Amino acid sequence: MSNRTADTICAISTPSGVGGIAVVRLSGSSAKLLAEKHLKNATRKEITLSDHRAKLASFYGSGEFIDDVVATYFAAPRSYTGEDVVELSCHGSLYVQHVIVRCLLDSGARLAEPGEFTMRAFLNGRLDLSQAEAVADLIDSRSHVSHRLAVSQLRGGYAKQLEQLRQEFVDLAALLELELDFSDEDLEFANREHLKQLVVQLKSKVQRLVDSFQTGNALKNGVPVAIVGRPNVGKSTLLNALLNDNRAIVSDQAGTTRDTIEEQFIVRGIVFRLIDTAGLRHTDNSIEQAGIERSINAMRQASIILYMIDATEDDSSVSMQIEELLSKVDLQGKTLVLLRNKIDKVELSNCAGIIKHDNYTELSISAKSNLNLEALLDTMVDSATRGKGEDDVLLTNIRHYEAMQHVLAALDEVQKGMDAGLTPDLIVVDIRDALYHLGTITGKVSSEDVLSSVFTRFCIGK
């Protein structure tokens, strides 16, 4: 990532391809001057751009008319980047877009690097680093839920909670440093038991954020759902029914699915990643066995496991399968749904609705006849959003998750130091370590490597 922040940069900010309109963006101290060099009114007289006003103008390059544009000028600091910004809306012709950019480059602008507009917004204090990352998440959002998570982070809800945490760490450090400064006096600002309680409260808040990553990451990138079971119980039929498409081959022959098949679909604003797996059984076929190993790995990585059985199977067989599943997969943090499929082949009076067990939920369905699939979708949505309030802050970014794990580790050291009776100056070192890692999330502490990692995720023009 370049640090040539004094340059005026330009780029096409709309997606590549032909469309009705395209937007070319300029940012920098010379943005207004460079744009005005190419803009004229209907009588070919030069025009002057006004702050936060849009003007219809003709764009010229080397004396030749290129296109009619709408030029909008945003004076610093009231702009996206905090610098002077001009946005030129032209027709969506690829030729027109590139000619306008070339003219601006010839006049002294520099082509923007990936994410450079948003990086300048961060450097100029318009966004903190977590909000800048939310811009990329907002652009990439594919569902109502992922959009809502990005908007919440962009508007600073997450940053406010981090700032509250930071202040609590600062206050704790201040109390310890006061204890050190007045250690020879008969003054007590906070006893150690009170300080220990403050650390316990901080650990609880940080732990909740760390624990929220599994839910937040799944809601952002798609909740992984593994469809598993023995051969010929209807796994591929269920995948096709949920997708409303013949995505997987359905056959009466056992072992048809030899590899995992993954597809996405959206239910009530939540993206689910459905993974159809090979049937679980003992086999000497090395190819099928490899598929079964992938099925087990899919279960281990899934948030929701749909374990399918034939509704005609007896309870002893079902219990054995559940026990075998529990021996292979740790269900901690997962939802297990036992699906009794093919109820169209049995007496409906023998099929109960949703049954809650200690380790799993049981539901009778017919994937072939679409019976009770709506109840299945309800169960999946409830599982994906369980324990999440409308205003809850969730970690969705792996960089933030790793930083919070470092904060939690630093708090562990603080707690150990207090229990061991260490002096305040030694304990404060770990508190400052926690503050450092908190700062890496918002950008209060940053390095060139971190900034490059964040902003090169963006497209040019963003």
pLDDT tens track of the chain, all 462 residues?
555 778 999 999 998 777 889 999 999 999 999 999 999 998 889 999 999 999 999 999 998 999 999 999 999 999 999 999 999 999 999 999 999 999 999 999 999 998 899 999 999 999 888 888 888 888 888 888 888 888 888 887 788 888 889 888 888 888 887 766 555 555 455 577 888 888 999 999 999 999 888 888 888 888 999 888 888 888 888 888 888 876 654 444 444 544 568 888 888 889 999 888 766 656 555 665 666 677 778 888 888 999 888 887 777 777 787 887 777 788 888 889 999 888 877 665 555 567 887 888 889 888 888 888 999 999 999 888 876 655 578 888 899 999 999 999 999 999 999 888 888 888 889 999 999 999 988 887 766 766 777 777 777 777
Q: What is the pLDDT of residue 28?
A: 96
- Residue type at 225 in one-letter notation: V
Q: What is the pLDDT of residue 80?
A: 94
Structural domain spans, the chain: 9-125, 138-217+397-443, 222-385
Distance CA 26, CA 36 (A): 12
Task: Give DSSP secondary structure letters for 175-238.
Answer: HHHHHHHTTTTT--SS-HHHHHHHHHHHHHHHHHHHHHHHHHHHHHH-EEEEEEESTTSSHHHH
Tokens 């002077």 -> residue: 84
The whole-chain average pLDDT of the chain stands at 84
Buried b (16+ CB within 10 A) or exposed e, 89-101: bbbeeeebbebbb
Dihedral of alpha carbons 400, 427, 181, 192, sign: positive
Name the pairing type of β-strands 9-12 and 64-74: unpaired
DSSP 8-state secondary structure symbol assigned to residue 60: E
**β-strand partners of 313:** none
Dihedral of alpha carbons 373, 379, 385, 390, sign: positive
Beta strand extents in 133-285 (DSSP E only): 223-229, 261-267, 270-276
Structure tokens belonging to residue 462 = 């963003």
CA–chain centroid gap for 457, Å, is 13
CA–chain centroid gap for 189, Å, is 42
Contact of 231 with 281, CB cutoff 8 Å: yes
Fold of 222-385: Rossmann fold (3.40.50)
**Strand, coil or helix: what is 299?**
helix
- Residue type at 119 in one-letter notation: M
- Residue type at 326 in one-letter notation: L
| CATH class for the domain made up of 138-217+397-443 | mainly alpha
Distance CA 414, CA 251 (A): 60
Q: What is the pLDDT of residue 251?
A: 44
Contact of 461 with 25, CB cutoff 8 Å: yes
Instruction: Give the strand order in the sheet containing 9-12.
Output: 39-40, 53-61, 64-74, 85-91, 21-27, 9-12, 110-111
- Which CATH architecture describes the domain 9-125? 2-Layer Sandwich (3.30)
Q: Report the chain's terminal Cα–Cα distance, integer Å.
A: 14
**β-strand partners of 274:** 225, 263
**β-strand partners of 27:** 9, 85
